[in-house]
């Protein structure tokens, strides 16, 4: 038995006309540097590439990720390379939430993300998304209505899946302040930030959530 996304993918595979899919993220082919990847793979692949490496990830990749995404402010020992985004989401919910914890998710959101929170017994609170990402006024109101504070806020701040919106800088700051106030963790699911044009708040030194 698969996820909702698996079912929609099979349904769509049977269609012959052009379809924009809002389930799995599918960046436009032209933003993927396929030729560069081919060239780099040709340079780095050796016979030794096809065996197990360090569990936490290849040291060189960890160094690069640390420099690129934290401007060097994070200790490389705090970085773990996962097998895709889903493993990261699974680990984060498994490690940082307990059954009955309040977890904020965007509405709509990536259902495999919210589904993972539910699978660990979280109470999921849906907060609407508008043209500037998660509606922070609604977040404050809806959380206040629960009489509780969230343990985790799951957000997709860049090119949100499925809405495609990007969280504005002002909202990022407000979200960060609220998370501090509540003692909540922000789970920043950002598979698409690296596809950003210079107009989008990137690199990491300019990003506030995460
Ligand atoms: C927002 C978001 N997070 C996570 C994932 C899953 O990533 P992966 O395929 O690397 O597990 C997707 C895939 O579409 C996604 O859109």
Q: List, for residues 103-130, the tens digit of each pLDDT value.
A: 999 999 999 999 999 999 999 999 999 9
Atom number, ligand 1, closest to the C-alpha of residue 156: 1
Q: List, for residues 166-181, the tens digit of each pLDDT value.
A: 999 999 999 999 999 9
Output the pTM of the full model. Answer: 0.84
Query: pLDDT > 70: what percent of the chain?
Result: 91
CA distance 159 to 145: 29
**pLDDT for the residue numbered 126:** 98
Question: Which of 159, 191, 194, 195 for a ligand 1 pocket mutation test, highest count of atoms within 8 Å of Cβ?
Answer: 191
CA distance 89 to 155: 11
Average pLDDT over residues 21-33: 77
Ligand 1: centre distance to CA 48 (Å): 28
Q: Which CATH number fits domain 83-206: 3.40.640.10, 3.40.1160.10, 3.50.4.10, 3.30.450.20?
A: 3.40.640.10
Residue in the block written with tokens 């959380």 = 143
**pLDDT for the residue numbered 133:** 97
**pLDDT for the residue numbered 204:** 44
CA distance 151 to 34: 39
């Amino acid at each position: 038995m698969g996820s909702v996304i698996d079912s929609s993918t099979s349904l769509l595979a049977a269609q012959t006309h052009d379809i924009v899919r809002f389930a799995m993220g599918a960046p436009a082919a032209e933003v993927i540097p396929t030729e560069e990847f081919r060239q780099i793979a040709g340079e780095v692949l050796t016979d030794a590439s096809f065996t197990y490496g360090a569990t936490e990830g290849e040291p060189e990749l960890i160094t690069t990720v640390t420099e690129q995404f934290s401007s060097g402010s994070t200790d490389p020992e705090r970085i773990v390379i996962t097998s895709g985004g889903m493993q990261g989401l699974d680990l984060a919910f498994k490690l940082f939430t307990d059954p009955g914890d309040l977890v904020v998710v965007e509405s709509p959101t990536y259902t495999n993300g919210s589904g993972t929170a539910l699978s660990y017994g979280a109470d999921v609170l849906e907060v609407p998304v508008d043209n500037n990402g998660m509606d922070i006024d609604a977040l404050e109101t809806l959380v206040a209505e629960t009489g509780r504070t969230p343990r985790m806020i799951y957000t997709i701040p860049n090119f949100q899946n499925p809405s495609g919106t990007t969280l504005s800088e002002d909202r990022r700051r407000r979200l960060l302040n609220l998370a501090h106030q509540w003692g909540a963790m922000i789970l920043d699911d950002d598979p698409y930030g690296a596809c950003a044009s210079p107009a989008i708040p990137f690199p990491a030194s300019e990003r506030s959530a995460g």
